[in-house]
Every structure is written in structure tokens, then in C-alpha cells.
Amino acid sequence: MQIRKDESRPLRSEEDVVYARQAVRSWAVEMAFSLVDQTKLVTAASELARNTIVYGGGGVLRLEQVEDGARRGLRLFFEDQGPGIADVERAMQDGYTSGGGLGLGLGGARRLVNEFHIESAPGQGTRITVVKWK
């Protein structure tokens, strides 16, 4: 897989969630994703960026335009050095929440993208990678 373009942005405050949404939107528009796919990507990014800030204590969003043979995609990494997640499987289930949310963040975001990968362990932070292919 080749990376055509990349960019990193800090995720520290609530305003950064808005900036993350805007950045993902502009990349998705540039790559000519359909409006529905743009909306899914931006919504997934919003959920994951919020998690990074609220549960991970802040971190970084990295955007990558990737190419795999003939197909192109947008890959997003959300990385924090926070407390990590002890039971990743459980955290992925709808309705599971450690905060005051609806518990749709992780599982919901997974349904909105084509690839979803999560690495996390207690004390090790959390790293989530998602890809939406065109």
C-alpha cells in the first residue's frame, strides 16, 4: 500500500473535534467520495476524535491518502497515550460506555468504515486505524 499524502493534527480540545471533522471532510471531498461516504467518514472521525480526547486524554489524528493497486482510500489513525482499554471486545459492543455517552462510539464508527483496527492495553494508550475505500 502506498501513501500519497499525509497530515497530522493534534486532538486536545473539543474544538479540535470540530477541526478534525473539517479536515476529514475536505480530504474526502478532494478524493471525490460520494456525499453519503463523506458523511459516514466524518461521523466516524467525530466519534473517534471525541474518544481520543475524552477517554485518552488527548492525542493525534493522522490522515493518509492511500493507494492499493487500483483502489484509493482514506486512512485515519487516532492515537493517544491514555489509560488504554482493558477489554477491547467489550468496548466495541453497542451500549458499552465508561463515560456518560451512549456507548455507540467504537461499534458505531466501525460500521461506518470498511476497515477498523484497534490496538490497546491498560497503560499502553489506544491506537485506532480506520480505512474507507472508494
CB atoms within 10 A of CB 34: 10
| Cβ nearer to another protein, comparing 2 with 22 | 22
DSSP string, 96-113: --SSSS-S-HHHHHHHTS
Interaction between residue 22 and another protein (CB under 8 A): yes
| Cβ nearer to another protein, comparing 3 with 102 | 102
Single out the residue of 58, 81, 101, 119 in contact with another protein (rule: CB under 8 A). 101
Largest Cα–Cα distance of the chain, in whole Å? 42
CB of 11 to another protein, least distance (A): 13
Contacting range for another protein; rule: CB under 8 A; set: 3-11, 62-70, 82-90, 108-116: 108-116
Partners of residue 7 on adjacent β-strands: 63
Contact pattern for another protein over residues 44 through 73, marking x by CB under 8 A = --xx--x-----------------------
Q: Which residues contact 48 (CB under 8 A, 6 or more apart)?
A: 76, 78, 105, 106, 109, 128, 130
d(CA 52, CA 48): 6
How many residues line the site for another protein (CB under 8 A)? Answer: 27
CB atoms within 10 A of CB 24: 25
CB of 18 to another protein, least distance (A): 5
Helices (H), 31-82: 35-54
Interaction between residue 132 and another protein (CB under 8 A): no
**Binding positions for another protein, rule: CB under 8 A:** 14-15, 17-18, 21-22, 25, 35-36, 38-40, 42-43, 46-47, 50, 94, 101-102, 104-105, 107-109, 111-112
